[in-house]
Structures are given as C-alpha cells and as structure tokens.
Amino acid sequence: MAVLARLDLTPDEQEQLTGQLDRILDYMDKLNELDTESVEPMSHAVDVVNVLRPDRAVNQPRTEDLLRNAPARDDDFLSVPKIIE
C-alpha cells in the first residue's frame, strides 16, 4: 500500500501505521450496520453540471513565476529525472 501511495515509510512508521489503520478501519466497518441496498451514492453536496467554455487562452504565460518554485530547471523548462530507460 505504501508503494501505491508512493511513500517511502521507515520500518517504525510502517509498524505504527499498521496498528493505527487497523483500528481506524475496524471503526469504519460500522458503516456496514446500515442497509444501503437501494441508496444512490453521492459525490457532491450540491447538484453540479458540466461547465463548458470556449477553448480560448485567457492567461498570459508566466514562465518565470512558475519556474521560480521548481526544484530543478533547465533554461525555460522544468528538469525532471529520466522517465524512460
């Protein structure tokens, strides 16, 4: 699960989290007491509909402002580790 979550946990963290998550998930099992056979799941509290707009650029590129926060850059590009061997 830690690999799926992309977290490099120490053995101590793994042990502590396993115990805590077991307890929390046990508590979550409480949800099974409710019959939800004919209940629709909900993902939003208010009715949301697709919002469409013309595909037109409205903002100016701000390369410097954006790259200022980058951990590594190469000229006007973000620099990242090699992805394909």
Partner 1 sequence: MTVHELTLHELHDRLRSRELSAVGLAEALFDRIEATDGAIGAYLAVCREQGMEDARRADAQLATGDADSKLLGIPVALKDVLLTEGVPTTCASKILKGFTPPYDGTAVRRLREAGAVLLGKTNMDEFAMGSSTENSGYSITRNPWNPDHVPGGSSGGSAAAVAAGQCVAALGTDTGGSIRQPASFCGIVGLKPTYGRVSRYGVVAYASSLDQVGPMTRDVTDCALVLQAIAGHDAADSTSVDAPVPDYAAALTGDVKGLHIGVPKEYFAAGLQPEVERAARQAIAELEKAGAVVTEVSLPRNDYAVAAYYVIAAAEASSNLARYDGMRYGPRAEAEDLTSTYMKSRAQGFGHEVKRRIMLGTYVLSAGYYDAYYLKAQKVRTLLKQDMEAVLEDCDAIVAPTCPTTAFKVDEMTHDPLQMYLSDILTISVNLAGLPALSVPCGFDDAGLPIGLQIIGKHFDEATVLRLGYAYEQATEWHTRRPEI
Contact 5, 17 (CB under 8 A): no
Residues contacting residue 76 through CB under 8 Å, at least 6 positions apart: 63, 67
DSSP state of 23: H
Hey, which residues between 53 and 72 contact partner 1 (CB under 8 A)? 53, 62, 65-66, 68-72
CA atoms of 75 and 63, how far apart (whole Å): 10
Hey, which residues between 5 and 34 contact partner 1 (CB under 8 A)? 5-10, 13, 17, 20-21, 23-25, 27-28, 30-34
Count of residues touching partner 1 (by CB under 8 A): 49
For residue 78, the cross-strand partners are: 73
77 lies in the site for partner 1, by CB under 8 A: no
Binding positions for partner 1, rule: CB under 8 A: 1-10, 13, 17, 20-21, 23-25, 27-28, 30-34, 36, 39-46, 48, 51, 53, 62, 65-66, 68-72, 78, 80-83
